[in-house]
Chain A
Amino acid sequence: MRELDVKRIEDKIAELCIEANHYLGTDVKQCIAGKLEEEPWPVAQEILKSIQENIEIAEEGVFPLCQDTGMACVFLEIGQDVHLTGGDLAAAVHAGVRRGYGDGYLRKSIVKDPLRRENTKDNTPAYIHYEIVPGEQVKIIVAPKGFGSENMSQIKMLPPSAGADGAKDFVVKVCREAGANPCPPIVVGVGIGGTFDKAALMAKQALLIPFDQQNEDPYYAEMEQELLERINELGIGPQGFGGRTTALAVHVLAAPTHIAGLPVAVNINCHVSRHKEAVL
């Protein structure tokens, strides 16, 4: 049994909120550079270059990558041999987000009630997902989620008869309908199976997978490849101005589901694909 003070989690989250909003992963940057090389359409090339310039400016540490510094989505993988001390874990997470978004001059983009819409002024509450795993460590992933892309996400409860083709067609349809709205080039997370909410969760978790990482299951690796090609055949291009680079990456996560169901969720992210992690 290992003791861990939640204050350490709070402090780390404050750091990660700021880091995630200024520094993209090398997988993202490398992917954009690779797509630029393959992009034949001149307007699209210019947009990708501007995106790269933006990344460099943000790395100077003054201006965040995007003004939508996102809803703070925090994924915690808690080792079951950890004893958390020093206070309430959730409160510590929210405190970390509050401090990170305050100290980091990040935008306060959360409203307390979805219908009455009063801004909470400190970007809390965070969205927290907990998983209990073997071991003595706590892994923290902070993934700020912008809502331009989030708003273009969709979920459908397909009949099993729709099959893989039905699932793939739905994913492509979601991307086509999104068009320029989610700030292409996009990143696509797909969740297939589980329940209504599990599919959506998997779709969001799929967005955290490194771009160059293929699905372990060759069946889904092939599907990811096919989806990426089909989405890029839409021709929407960077910012919707036309071009080959509509999507940077597609990842699929699947889970067992009910004999009567085929839930398919598509969570869209933009090219400012933000997540930073730490292990305590």
Chain B
Amino acid sequence: MPNPAYALLASPMSYLRTFGPRADPATTLMWGLVALSLAVVAIITLLVVSGVLVRRRRGAVEAMASLPAERGSGGLAWFYVGMPLTVIALVGALAWTVAVLAAIDSPPVKPRLTLEVTGHQWWWEVRYLSPNPSWTFVTANEIHIPTGQPIQVKLVSADVIHSFWAPALTGKTDAIPGQTNLSWLQADRPGVYRGQCAEFCGVQHAHMGLDVVAEAPAAFEAWRRGQLRPAAAPVTAEALDGERAFVAHCGACHAVQGTDARGQASGDFIGPITASSLAAQAAALPARHSSTGGVVGPDLTHLMSRTSLAAGTLPNNVGGLSGWIANPQALKPGAQMPATYLSGPQLSAVVSYLETLR
């Protein structure tokens, strides 16, 4: 954009402009209320400033004791003019609000695609639901949607309250443990729309981002078919070593479909991170294939199809991967992922294995 003022206001999280029917009516309403607000502030400021300037006593007023007080007339007229205007503005704002609420409360047509988004400390688990179980799959932190149609989003939480928010497409809906909240969104044109957790949820609330990738329906279908495939078996020797190391060291928390990494740790694994709990978890890692627990970390079956790591914290490339696996606590202090204590060769083997997960 050549306009520097626009560049100053540009942010991937901005909702000054929105791109879908869930968000647009609220954005128009917001700009309407901004205009009304600025007008009210301008009028009252003008009245106060001009009142002080016009009516003030000029010259030095040394002692107030000798200044008489008198009851000037005409004061109540301000109410007779001001209050009806206030009431009209408020009734208008309320009518518009209720109209927008009715318009965006539920999608205009029944959505063909439903996602279940689960908030975790501090990442998003995304499950594509389907009546056909073999068409259900799981990914994380990156939501692909087809353009031009409403998508239903079921919001749940695995731990504390989070809030799902992709400003350019939809306002916030909380993910509250013990209940399922519904939201929906729709993108009218392809693009990558940034989102972020909007309810304070702990030390890494700041790094709980997500991307909504809107694609033309054909491109989305291709992506979906790719996601439904299990991971391809590695071919190089290093990647094979990497797979073994991954299953042993990472598979308790991270699933890769088609391998022994199932990511189903026991429930007590989930919990606040302390130095001692980290050490205990690291020590107990190989024993953690359990039947009862929930998901601990993101499913990595198609890790390399995603653009970022650790819920929007790092770019997903060799450098990002190596740095993150080597020392997650330095990059996202307090994150649930412990240091993995891999040797140098093990680390590079795991990274080359992960690079095969496309």
A pairs with B: no
